Amino acid sequence: MKLSLFQADAFTSTMFSGNPAAVCPLDEWISDSLMQQIAAENNLSETAFFVERENHFELRWFTPATEVDLCGHATLATAHIMFEELGYKQKALSFETRSGTLMVEREGDKLKMDFPTDDMPAVVPPEVLFQGLGVRSDLVFATDDYMVVLESEEAVAELNPNFRLLSEVNARGIIVTAPGDKVDFVSRFFAPQCGIDEDPVTGSAHTKLTPYWAQRLDKTELTARQISKRGGDLLCRYKGDRTEILGEAVTYLKGEITI
């Protein structure tokens, strides 16, 4: 069996930055175990698989270790590959996922994704969270991720987490954020529980970051940068129960898997 495979850098207009994701179009679903093996072999933070149906697409995402419910950068990479490499002409793409229906459409030189907002309540975190990060904060929020708010971009940039300790935190991942020096807010995302110590750019985290910063800064359109080593830029719009996340992508690789 031969399968097409693409790789794109998401949330960037420049190759070798942003967040790389693999995209694998399928005629029909293959087994979960085979998709997990392919994702592990790709060894990227996410591999996206999609199947075309009559008026929509089914989309799933796998890290090297597990399937996830939502992934922004791999959705952006998938839409980019479909528009730029596979010749899809629709104005908007509709994806059915484990997080419901996700829409992606062109807006100028960017792709706009429409996701459900995740408004996180304040919580008392486990001590191991602070031990793993090496910093403390009075502003901690949680749903399936923890979000820790620090005072400055510098404090976020200087973090040197203990990933063994962070892997003990019962969450998908840990978002750390602060006001940005040149953008509205910055962030980093750590997910050793999912086999990713630090994710370069995490679209899904911005469904949690956007409502917090929209309310704190009293604005509905925000500029954001994830300040990982590779780095990535996002434009976020708070729409109440929906969050729009916009970004660019570039194709890095086109190939074929022989199984």
Q: Which residues contact 210 (CB under 8 A, 6 or more apart)?
A: 117, 222, 224, 236, 237, 238, 243, 245
Distances (CA, A) of 128 to 135, 159, 164, 165, 242: 11, 15, 10, 6, 32
Residues designated catalytic: 46
Which residues are 237's β-sheet partners?
221, 244
Q: Provide the 10 A C-beta neighbour count for residue 241.
A: 8
Rounded to whole angstroms, the Cα distance separating 147 from 176 reads 6
* HSE (side-chain half, CA atoms, 13 Å) at 165: 12
